[in-house]
Amino acid sequence: MALDKWIAVVFIVISVVYGYSAFTYPLLPFELNMSFLPNTMPMVLSVLGILFALIIILTPKPKADPEGEALGDISVSRLHEYKVGQALALIGAMILYALALRPIGFIGATTLFLVGTGWILGERKLHIMIPVALVGTGLIWFLVEQALGIFLRPLPWFLS
């Protein structure tokens, strides 16, 4: 089964769960007499969602779209050619950055993130990468803090 059909199956499950939680949504007593309720549209949506997902599962696969090829679109059939490991490592780095941003502070976390992701991508010239990352981080911090007026804690928790 193709990937899009699997996604449609997952979506049916989501729609059923969503529809169930809409159906059992705790209504207030006075709401019961009204014609439009907070769960009216969600219930309609879950039915539509199941319907469209079923259509995707049941329709046969169309022939390859030449326009998509021209765009150099990404496709699953070439997955083995892709650098999946790098992409997963970058996603991991982003999650770490999200968790570290507050405790380590903006400047430390961002510099580490930029250098780390550069390293994952194969950059080994640290004597260039680290200064570039530091300048970039400092510049962005200055812009966000001064020009936009949004506070970003620059330093780790024990220093500020």
Q: DSSP assignment, residue 147?
A: I
Smaller CB separation from other proteins, 21 or 155: 21
Give min distance, CB of 34 to other proteins, in A: 7
Residues 6+ positions from 104 with CB-CB distance below 8 Å: 112, 156, 157
At its nearest, how many Å lie between other proteins and the CB of residue 159? 19
**Cα-to-chain-centroid distance, residue 129:** 27
Nearest distance, CB of residue 26 and other proteins, angstroms: 9
Do 100 and 106 contact (CB within 8 A), yes or no? no
